[in-house]
């Protein structure tokens, strides 16, 4: 937890999670969330079925029109960057399964449209809730938003809760959906605070896109606020201050001014190469999960896609994606990124998720240690070959590499390479074009892979270190479990030494070595990774300008010395103290959050 300055009374501070960078100060405007209630009744005759289905279809069309209008309402300069932020909502509205199931429920169970719709969406939400994928869990509110919007359309309701918002206000609500956030232009609203939400929700992404500082997950704040109260929103540190005194207000006004200058500076330099003061080049790329995130990576200065997670297509429908569906998405990504490279990670899901789609029973055991990632793919070759065929076909449209997750043995690499070769041969016989010599890399994210890294590197074209899983598997903890969250330590000496050993093994073989976990996106750890010898860092788009700026202000020889010194330390706190001291000396003008801790 990052504390505000000591002169701020503790009882005025509320903590949450900051979204993006920035500080806002303004009067409170509360938007009360209205829970949509719906009627539930049985259709008493068959003659009522068709009119009810017609109501559903009209509500779907009306919701689609409103959502498209909200998308178009984004400022013109943001349309290319984040205009597709509503694509997932539109995709849900276009999903034939959801509405076929709803209509089926109306016909077979004789339910009214509202009840059938809510039942279908609730089942969908229940399925997503069972996933271990944190990113997909953060989309639950987006699903609820669409469900509520459709029910509102069926009941022909409008939200009468909105009143005129005073210019310069800080909007506070239980939660806001993306279209609501998009309707709050920066010229009118200075900041947003919600009791619910996550950093990766679509609402948060929209707030980032239109430049409004936002803090989510501020539990209990609505219970103490009144309209017109003064509020400070610190999206950098993730806290909110209620009715600050003069000293606190002046402090945050000064901080806001400094942050505004900082943002202008790093964005101005974002498209410059990540070249150190002594001319050492580092490739800074973006992590991609949804296609709509791609423009943001490019406009933030990303030099390619260092990690394209491909799981989303398998989890947004109640059926496995077809080869053509996968090929269409992969081609779009590769073509759009060209001439920048794209590293596609093959499916990294557990049997509990995929088997649920196919109708088979998946294991109820923890998939963190179960049949997931490459293990699952090698057990279910039909699913794996479908994805590989789509990837290989997309390869001719740009610079594409294949990356295999959770590798722990040589057999897994060799088997996959054989399957890839056989799949490529079959596609060639069918007349499909395939790029020759597609690089095949592996992710190092389990201790066994670190122990075998010399042998594994001999079979791979590149290595990528997935620090998130490497940390949790090495330290024997679940990073989503709050009881052990404080033990999740990227600066644990064993983690640093494993990362260094992996980079050394790759470089000894002349391989490119990237880091694509959270450590690559953190100002504290990114310089250490560069000092260890990583030649590529891959991260969310919002982190790219800051990390590139830090690299450009660094001396490679200096951070190599610090990286060598940190390997001699025996505790996490010693490692943190060393890097914190370096950042304070070198980057004080950047006003990074780490410098205030």
Catalytic residues: 202, 516
- Which helix (H) or strand (E) segment holds residue 162: the answer is none
For residue 13, the cross-strand partners are 241
Q: Say if CB 283 and CB 537 are below 8 A apart.
A: yes
Residue carrying structure tokens 């190469």 = 273
For residue 83, give Cα distances in angstroms to 110, 136, 145.
39, 20, 18
How many Cα atoms sit within 13 Å of 309 on the Cβ side? 23
Q: What contacts 435, CB < 8 A, 6 or more positions away?
A: 395, 396, 400
For residue 170, the cross-strand partners are 28, 191
Q: Tell me, what DSSP letter sits at residue 275?
A: B
Could you count the other beta carbons within 10 Å of the beta carbon of residue 226?
A: 8
Angle value at C-alpha 208, between 205 and 214, nearest 5 degrees: 100
Is the bond preceding 339 in cis, omega lying within 30 degrees of 0?
A: yes
CA distance 352 to 489: 29
CA distance 213 to 254: 16
Among residues 522, 530, 534, 527, which one has the least CA distance to residue 582? Answer: 527
CA distance 572 to 582: 16
- Which helix (H) or strand (E) segment holds residue 99: the answer is helix 96-109
Strand 512-515 and strand 536-539: the pairing is: parallel
Q: Say if CB 498 and CB 445 are below 8 A apart.
A: no
CA distance 75 to 211: 11
How far is C-alpha 475 from the chain's CA centre?
24
Could you count the other beta carbons within 10 Å of the beta carbon of residue 510?
A: 7
CA distance 457 to 150: 52
Among residues 430, 449, 448, 428, which one has the least CA distance to residue 438? Answer: 428
**Structure-token pair, residue 148:** 């509520």
């Amino acid at each position: 937890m990052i504390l505000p300055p000591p002169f701020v009374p503790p009882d005025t501070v509320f903590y949450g999670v900051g979204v993006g960078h920035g500080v806002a100060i303004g009067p409170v405007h509360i938007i009360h969330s209205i829970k949509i209630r719906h009627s539930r009744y049985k259709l008493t005759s068959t003659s009522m079925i068709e009119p009810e289905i017609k109501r559903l279809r009209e509500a779907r069309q009306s919701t689609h029109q409103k959502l498209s209008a909200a998308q178009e309402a984004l400022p013109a300069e943001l349309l290319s960057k984040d205009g597709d932020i509503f694509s997932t909502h539109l995709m849900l509205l276009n999903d034939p399964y959801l509405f076929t199931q709803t209509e089926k429920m109306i016909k077979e169970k004789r339910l009214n449209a509202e009840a059938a719709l809510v039942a279908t969406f609730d089942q969908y939400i229940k399925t997503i809730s069972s996933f271990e994928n944190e990113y997909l869990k953060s989309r639950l509110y987006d699903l609820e938003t669409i469900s509520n919007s459709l029910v509102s359309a069926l009941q022909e309701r409008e939200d009468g809760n909105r009143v005129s918002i005073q210019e310069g206000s800080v909007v506070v609500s239980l939660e806001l959906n993306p279209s609501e956030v998009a309707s709050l232009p920066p010229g009118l609203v200075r900041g947003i605070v919600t009791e619910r939400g996550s950093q990766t929700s679509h609402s948060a992404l929209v707030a980032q896109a239109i430049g409004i500082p936002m803090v989510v997950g501020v539990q209990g704040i609505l219970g103490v606020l009144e309209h017109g109260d003064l509020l400070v929103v610190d999206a950098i540190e993730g806290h909110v201050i209620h009715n600050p005194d003069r000293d606190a207000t002046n402090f945050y006004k000064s901080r806001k001014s400094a942050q505004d200058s900082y943002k202008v500076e790093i964005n101005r330099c974002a498209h410059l190469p990540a070249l150190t003061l002594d001319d050492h080049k580092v490739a800074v790329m973006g992590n991609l999960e949804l296609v709509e995130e791609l423009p943001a990576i490019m406009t933030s200065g990303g030099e390619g896609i260092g990690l394209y997670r491909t799981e989303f297509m398998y989890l947004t429908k109640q059926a496995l994606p077809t080869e053509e569906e996968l090929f269409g998405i992969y081609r779009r990504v590769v073509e759009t990124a060209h001439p920048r490279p794209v590293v596609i990670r093959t499916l990294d899901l557990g049997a509990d998720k995929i088997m649920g789609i196919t109708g088979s029973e998946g294991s109820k055991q923890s998939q963190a240690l179960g049949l997931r990632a490459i293990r699952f793919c090698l057990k279910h070759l039909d699913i794996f070959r479908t994805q590989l065929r789509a990837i290989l076909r997309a390869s001719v449209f740009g610079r594409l590499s294949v990356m295999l997750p959770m590798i722990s043995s040589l057999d897994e690499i060799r088997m996959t390479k054989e399957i890839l070769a056989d799949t490529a041969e079959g596609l060639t016989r069918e007349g499909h074009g395939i790029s020759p010599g597609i690089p095949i890399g592996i992710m190092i994210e389990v201790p066994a892979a670190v122990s075998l890294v010399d042998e594994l590197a001999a079979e791979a074209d590149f290595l990528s270190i997935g620090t998130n899983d490497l940390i949790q598997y090495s330290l024997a903890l679940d990073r989503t479990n709050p009881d052990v969250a404080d033990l999740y330590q990227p600066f644990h000496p064993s983690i640093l030494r494993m990362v260094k050993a992996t980079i050394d093994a790759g470089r000894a073989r002349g391989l490119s070595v990237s880091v694509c976990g959270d450590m690559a996106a953190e100002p504290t750890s990114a310089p250490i990774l560069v000092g260890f010898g990583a030649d590529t860092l891959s991260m969310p788009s919002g982190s790219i300008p800051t990390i590139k700026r830090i690299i450009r202000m660094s001396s490679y020889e200096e951070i190599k010395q610090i990286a060598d010194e940190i390997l001699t330390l025996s505790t996490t706190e010693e490692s943190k103290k060393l890097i914190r001291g370096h950042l304070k000396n070198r980057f004080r003008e950047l006003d990074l959050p780490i410098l205030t801790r």
